[in-house]
Amino acid sequence: MPEDESDLAYVLRHLPAELPVTVIGAGSNLIVRDGGVAGVVIRLGRALGEIRIEEGHRVVAGTAALDAHVARAAQKASIAGLAFFSGIPGSIGGALRMNGGAYGGETKDVLIEARGVDRQGNVRTFSNAEMGFSYRHSGVGDDVIFTSATFAGRAGDPDAIAGEMAEIKAKRETTQPRNRTGGSTFKNPPGHNAWKLIDEAGCRGLIVGGAQVSELHCNFLINTGDATATDIETLGETVRARVKAQSGIELEWEIKRIGASPA
């Protein structure tokens, strides 16, 4: 768990090049396979979670900062345009890596620039255009570990922004399961809703071991109590196979899966 950006750069610079490196943030959109993760795991913690407000309605956030905390800081500073972050249960690092979005907003809409450290320990800065954003994807290589982001908002009324965030919270609570879940499991294929394809394939409520397709929202897989990573991934692959057979559409995982399957 690096103390700061310089500490992270030092570690990456001195690690053997052949040693695998895996980085995690809040872990809210992640499956860690039951066989564990080889090499070095870097956890971005509180030291990289600072949020500060700058002139011009800008918000600078460390990549360990939770998306919801960034939204709240912007609201308190009367900065509009970042409220959608309150509906994403993850950290800014994940938002940069996956172009996180919800409720009409995406990271690409508000990002000015991102900073990160590459595998050689070099600190690099990426403009919005250089991020190569597309739907739930960034084109920056996986060898870069993001450390901070600068976002542009606009002048807003804090009460109105708070109201917008309250609406987002209410929508989440009524349409998404509150169980243990990794959030949206699959990306929406062009022109389709993943949940609808899953429902039409007869997968609502489907169970594998301790994992279940949510009855409330079919694009959420939930841990009913004792699910293994294998249970969850097997359930997801079963859903993908049934959707492909039903509609001919191949769902793409949105949840990131890391590590090895058990021997």
Q: Please report, in tens digits, the pLDDT of each residue of the chain (263 residues total).
A: 999 999 999 999 999 999 999 999 888 889 999 999 999 999 998 889 999 999 999 999 999 999 999 999 999 999 999 999 999 989 999 999 999 998 889 999 999 999 999 999 999 999 999 999 999 999 999 999 999 999 999 999 999 999 999 999 999 888 888 888 888 999 999 999 999 999 999 999 999 999 999 999 999 999 999 999 999 999 999 999 999 999 999 999 999 999 998 86
pLDDT of amino acid 178: 80
Give the pLDDT of residue 26: 86
Are residues 116 and 144 in contact, defined by beta-carbon separation less than 8 angstroms? yes
pLDDT on residue 117? 98
pTM of structure: 0.86
* CB-based contact 78:50 (threshold 8 Å): no
The residue written with tokens 């918000």 in the block is: 59
Catalytic (active-site) positions: 136, 184, 254
Identify whether the C-beta of residue 70 lies closer than 8 Å to the C-beta of residue 59: yes
pLDDT of 55 reads 96
Q: How far apart are CA 26 and CA 92, in angstroms?
A: 9
Q: What is the secondary structure of 75-109 as a DSSP string?
A: HHTTEES-GGGGG--SBHHHHHHHT-EETTEEHHH
Q: What 3-state class would DSSP assign to 210? A: coil
Report the sign of the C-alpha dihedral through residues 74, 80, 86, 92, in that order: negative
Q: What angle do CA 186, 256, 234 make, to 5 degrees?
A: 65
Q: Could you give the strand order of the β-sheet that contains 220-223, starting from the edge strand earlier in sequence?
A: 180-184, 220-223, 211-213, 207-208
For residue 104, count other CB atoms closer than 10 A to its CB: 10
